[in-house]
Amino acid sequence: AQSVTQPDIHITVSEGASLELRCNYSYGATPYLFWYVQSPGQGLQLLLKYFSGDTLVQGIKGFEAEFKRSQSSFNLRKPSVHWSDAAEYFCAVAPLFSGSARQLTFGSGTQLTVLP
């Protein structure tokens, strides 16, 4: 069965600092990978997704993520964090060519705090 691990429950960074949120997945083949962000009291918003091609994908709000097959990782990065980036971030994985979000597995999330 596929699984997603986000090893950092909570990360604190200063505004303007760089950010990397870790995500490791377990799956028998290359999966479909996602990062979502959830602001307080809000639903989830898709930041970026990967399913083929260039392993470095660009998303909204200045985020990017790099797929590393050898490490089974899909870490999220941002060069300079803004206070508005404080939120919870979820990594998710689904089988490639998934026909339904039924097979979408979410990690347990990483809470990001941004210090002024």
- Cα dist from 12 to 18, 56, 114, whole Å: 11, 24, 6
Minimum distance from residue 15 beta carbon to another protein (Å): 26
Q: Which is nearer to another protein, 109 or 114 (CB)?
A: 109
Minimum distance from residue 77 beta carbon to another protein (Å): 21
Q: Which is nearer to another protein, 3 or 14 (CB)?
A: 3
Contacts with 51 (C-beta within 8 Å, 6 or more apart), sequence order: 32, 33, 96
Pairing of strands 87-94, 110-115: antiparallel
Q: Which residues bind another protein (CB under 8 A)?
A: 4, 9, 32, 36, 41-46, 49, 51, 90, 92, 94, 97-102, 104-109
Torsion sign, CA atoms 22, 26, 28, 34: negative
Q: Which is nearer to another protein, 45 or 84 (CB)?
A: 45
Minimum distance from residue 108 beta carbon to another protein (Å): 5
Q: What is the Cα–Cα distance from 33 to 107, expressed in whole angstroms? A: 11
Q: Which is nearer to another protein, 9 or 116 (CB)?
A: 9
